[in-house]
Structure 1
Amino acid sequence: MAQSRRMLVLRAVVEDYIRSQEPVGSTSLTRDHDLGVSSATIRNDMAGLEDEGYLIQPHTSAGRVPTEKGYRYFVDRLATVVPLSEAQRRGINSFLSGSVSLKDALQRAARLLSEITGQVAVVASPSLAKATLRHVEMVPVAMTTLLAVVITDTGQVAQHGLAVSAMPAVDDINRISSTVNEQCSGLSLSSAAEKVRSIAEEAGFSTVHEVACALADAFASMALDERANELYMSGASHLAHSRSLSDLAPLFDALEEQVVLMKLMSNLSEETNATGVGVAIGSESHTPGLLHASVVSSGYGHSNAVADHAQDGESSSSSTDAGEPVAFVGSIGPTHMDYLATMSAVKAVARYLTAFISENGIQDRPAADQHHSH
């Protein structure tokens, strides 16, 4: 019993410190929380929590503040992330539904998330490595060059030059395009590459063998493109208000290191708990500039979960496991951030981006299909 009450005391300290950012003493805990024991007992519990490494006492103060271990215990006990209020969800929806393109949606999502949390928001655009093929067009652009225009399930358009020794007839190019679109739509780019190689060997396609092989190579190289194309960031100015200047220089350096940040957030968004949100506190990020910061991240755009959480956005967390995320959305703030609010906001924005991608995917599909049905 003492242990579980002690952990209730820890939780109360974390909640109070997140709210006030002042060291928490036993008197205020007794006053503000119904812990059902005397302040002397709470003092003992706090001393025990300090011995166990969950709390620390700043020199000048009678109160205590949580350590990384204290925050970690607190975050791990947040079994469910409270959905945002109806008004907040409507706000997100109306803000993002005005997006004219995927890029616009991602920029808006970063801006919105930083507004909601008052922290730095980071949104990555999907990496081609995780995309599936929706449609490909091949257009002759020079005597010995075709341009392959590849549209993926996330609505991204990638272009790739295909060099050939001699240009085949237009009808032959259209025929291989149609076949590739019929047989490869919905495949990952690496599977599409293999499929196109086998199509290239079929008897009827000898005149476009070289084109097919070049297209397969293009798919294969896109499939290896692990880096998400871009990172959209918003809200760095919020940090300047919440941190002492000595913390800020290494933090801004860390935010500049996009590759490091991507790796960290991408890993985090894949190592989530039951809530579908990953959290790294302080040194857990293994990034020197983020020593006094926490990072909250969630994946979005699960490529094979099409309409299931477009409906309302707050169905069970299991819908988020329907496929691999194609990219992530995250928030970076001080270790004393409001974890519950941040996790809820990150999760909600991730859900809306997933819905945005899948809805746009569905709407564009018939047009792409008419394009190559003969």
Structure 2
Amino acid sequence: MTDLSSLDPIALRRRRVLGIVVQEYTQSAQAIGSQTIARDYNLGVSAATIRNDLAVLEQEGYLTHLHTSSGRIPTAAGYRFFVQQLSARAAARELSPIEREGIRVELSRARGGVDQWLRVSTAALARTSHGAALATAPQSTRSRFKHLELVGIRDTKVLLVLVLQEGAIQQQVLDLDQPINQSALSAISNELNDRLGGLSSLEIRGRDELPGEDAEPQALLLRQMRLLAAELMESAEAPFDRPIYRDGLAQVLDAPEFAGGDNMHKIVNVFEQRSLLEQILAEYMWEDDVQVVINGEGRIRELQDISLVLSSYGNSEHATGILGVVGPVRMAYGRTIGAVRFVAALMSERMEDWYGE
């Protein structure tokens, strides 16, 4: 059996042949044969030698062939070996400096906090990878209070908006026992912001009553809002109880692999079914670097014929999320890995800035 990782000349050539098959098939979705490789690539050997290399790579499980063609296409093992050969620097170069700067500018112009950043990030990922992009909002195992606003709507209706330090926003419409004017609501908001900034839900619940939390109606409301803030923070800490952002599914469905039938339904289910997506993302949530999941790695039946390129972002001391790309196994891995790594790094920078405020 050939050790493709060795520096033996034959192993080096076969590794090159495997890389050519992967790259050609990724671009064209067509099997590639020895004559094409000999004609288009200067490997210094005959088509017959390349044909033998293809046969060996097929015997060893890196390639396979379609009944309708004498050419070869990669297997999941072939893709996996190819991905393992992609260094971080090589993958990063797959995005041009102009593309990287464009994404950076887009993200810097995004307003509205984490929600808008993730919408921009998934759109950029979908555009640069030609895949279906997804991202989860950042989540902390211990949310921290950043800012609260009470806004009168009408009569006894009040909107509570709670911003957490990890960027999540919780909202709830309240129906008070009696009307209260906006100046009083703003005074309560300011009091809570002054006294609860940076605290966890546990710390908020454990605090003694704030000055002014006595029997007066407005003071009672101050206490109710303090405890409600803690409750909303705790709900935000529930595993995967957060938005999942998606973009680009339509362009993936244009790929030949998903032109119709079971495979089309399969990738739609992966992309749209929250419970399945949560199960998959939870498994890779705390990995440090980009993770490439090819064909479900033989463990996740729903991911057969599908690949994911995923990366966490943020800071484990504060909050982390996960973002990535879903597409066919016939994916441009170098470019996709580079895009995911770059966007994740930008999101991590934004999160650091958010916590530094």
- Give the TM-score normalised by the residue count of structure 2: 0.76
For structure 2, the residue ranges without an aligned partner over 5 or more in a row are: 1-7, 178-183
Q: Following TM superposition, by how much is the alpha carbon of 1:194 offset from its aligned partner in structure 2, in angstroms?
A: 2.8
Among 18, 27, 38, the alignment partner of 1:30 is: 38
| Structure 2 counterparts to residues 227-306 of structure 1, below 5 A | 227-243=241-257, 244-246=259-261, 247-271=263-287, 276-284=289-297, 286-300=299-313, 302=314, 304=315
Deviates more, 1:144-153 or 1:192-201: 144-153
AA aligned opposite 1:92? I
* Distance in 1 (alpha carbons) for counterparts of 2:142 and 2:292: 23
Residue 290 of structure 1 and its aligned partner are, at CA, apart by 3.4
What corresponds to 1:78 in structure 2?
86
**2:22 pairs with one of 14, 17, 24:** 14
- Please tell me whether residue 48 in structure 1 is matched to residue 95 in structure 2: no
Equivalent pair of 1:117/1:345 in contact (CA under 8 Å)? yes
* C-alpha distance after superposition, 1:202-245 (max 9, x if no partner): 99989889656665444333322532223233342442254331
* Amino acid across the alignment from 1:11: G
Aligned pair in 2 of structure 1 residues 241, 39: CA closer, same or farther (>3 Å)? closer
Return 5+ residue gaps in structure 1 as ranges: 305-321, 366-374
**Does structure 1 residue 348 correspond to structure 2 residue 342?**
yes
Residue in 2 that maps onto 1:371: none
Please say if 1:58 is aligned against 2:66.
yes
Determine helix, strand or coil for the equivalent of 1:200: coil
Q: Are the equivalent residues in 2 in contact too, given 1:23–1:64 (CA < 8 A)?
A: yes
Larger mean Cα displacement after TM superposition, 53-62 or 120-129:
120-129
Match of 1:118 among 130, 140, 144: 130
Deviation digits for residues 265-310 of structure 1, max 9, x if unmatched? 34335335xxx2111112328554532221111222x1x4xxxxxx
CA 148–20 in structure 1, closer or farther in 2 if over 3 Å, else same: closer
- RMSD of Structure 2 on Structure 1 (CA): 3.8
Deviation by residue 1:77-102 (Cα, 9 ceiling, x = unmatched) = 21212242221122212333332223
C-alpha distance after superposition, 1:115-159 (max 9, x if no partner): 2222212232234647543234678999x9998643222433214
Residues 282 and 291 in structure 1, CA contact (< 8 A), matched pair in contact too:
yes
The one of 195, 208, 218 equivalent to 2:203 is 195
Q: 1:119 to 1:216 in 2, by over 3 A?
A: closer
The one-letter code matched in structure 2 to 1:94 is: V
1:132–1:193 Cα change, 3 Å: closer
Q: Distance in 2 between matches of 1:78 and 1:23?
A: 22
Letter in 2 for 1:346: V
Q: Match for residue 312 of structure 1?
A: none
Amino acid at match of 2:92: V
Q: Is the 8 A contact 2:148 2:192 kept in 1?
A: no
- Alignment partners' CA distance in 1, 2:271 and 2:234: 31
Q: Is the 8 A contact 1:299 1:325 kept in 2?
A: no
Q: Please report the TM-score for the alignment, with normalisation by the length of structure 1.
A: 0.73
Query: 1:340, CA displacement in angstroms?
Result: 0.4
With 336-345 and 79-88 compared, the bigger mean Cα shift is at 79-88
> SS in structure 1 opposite 2:207?
helix
Q: Report the counterpart of residue 181 of structure 2 in structure 1.
A: none
1:305-320 equivalence runs, <5 A: none
SS of the residue corresponding to residue 343 of structure 1 reads helix
8 A contact 1:132–1:153 mirrored in 2: yes
> CA offset at residue 15 of structure 1?
1.9
